[in-house]
A and B are shown apart, each in its own frame.
Chain A
Amino acid sequence: MDILQKVSQEYDFELEFSNRLSYEALCAISPNIRSQITDYLMKFYYISKSINKTKRKIANQH
């Protein structure tokens, strides 16, 4: 099962980007799952950061 689905089921919260996942929610997760989630969220952070950077560059083209 996908780690996100697993955690969503076990902890009953919706996983979003790292900045939307509260510190308290992250602490409530067991350490081994937490490390996997942190990894997952870091990738989401990359996606978000990359898209925002692209958006800024496109804006500067105008």
Chain B
Amino acid sequence: MDEYKTNLIIRAKNGDNQALEQLLKGEETNIKTMIFYLKKNWEDINDIVQNILFKVSVKIKQLNNPNSFKSWLNQIVLNTYYDYLRKNKKYSKDLYLDEKNETNYYNIADYSTNPSQRILDNELDFVIKTSIDNLPIHYKIPITLREIQGLSYSEISNITKTTVGTVKSRIARARALIKNDIDKYIGE
């Protein structure tokens, strides 16, 4: 982590609201992208992100080590996401899927009436997003933490309470599953 950001975290932790605002603004895109890939549709994304940012602003004083900010933040992101799943049972089946569905990925989600369509403006992006949507949750979380948040295997293992070896194999498996969908799309 760079010195500027560490300084920002320390200031936010000590009650500097301007630093906190700047810190949250800097994290918002990553958090929103993470939730976008964890969820199957755009519904409630802004609410979930605002909830996360609120929790961060309230709990930042409890952060012991500024260097562990990213892991700490992502723990909040995941806990909030799990809370959301529990409260919205229609999505909770995502928690227990062990195998990827072999369904036609064009039929999985309807992006035509929500902001996702503006974001996923080409077919390959749509295929990759849908492929991630269909991953079992224990693959989806490590790969999004790696790809979007840029966390190390060790940081992901701490957050997911698994071994580094498990994290590596789950990420490798997730990439292989996404690769299969890309292959289908490209027509290899």
Contact = CB atoms under 8 A, between A and B. Distances in A.
Given A51-B33, A55-B148, A58-B29, A43 B178 contact: yes
Interface string A20-53: 0000000000000000000010011011101101
A37 B118 CA distance: 33
A50 B33 contact: no
A18 B165 CA distance: 21
Interface residues of A, number: 20
A4 to B, nearest CB: 6
Nearest to B46: A61
Given A58-B29, A62-B28, A51 B147 contact: yes
Interface residues on B, range: 20 to 34
B129 interface: yes
A44 B115 CA distance: 26
A11 to B, nearest CB: 15
Nearest to A43: B179
Q: Is the interface of B mostly helix, strand, loop or mixed?
A: helix
Contact of B125 (A14, A40, A50, A62): A50
B1 interface: no
A44 to B, nearest CB: 6
B119 A54 contact: yes
A2 B36 contact: no
Given A48-B147, A61-B115, A4 B33 contact: no
A47 B120 CA distance: 13
Given A4-B176, A46-B128, A57-B119, 11 more contacts: A2-B172, A43-B179, A43-B182, A50-B129, A51-B33, A51-B147, A54-B33, A54-B119, A57-B121, A58-B32, A62-B29
Closest A-B pairs by Cβ, 6 of them? A43-B179, A59-B29, A50-B128, A55-B33, A57-B119, A50-B125
Interface of A: 2, 4-5, 14, 40, 43-44, 46-48, 50-51, 53-55, 57-59, 61-62
10 contacts: A2-B172, A14-B168, A43-B175, A46-B124, A47-B147, A51-B37, A51-B148, A54-B125, A58-B33, A62-B28
Interface of B: 28-30, 32-33, 36-37, 115, 118-121, 124-125, 128-129, 147-148, 168, 172, 175-176, 178-179, 182-183
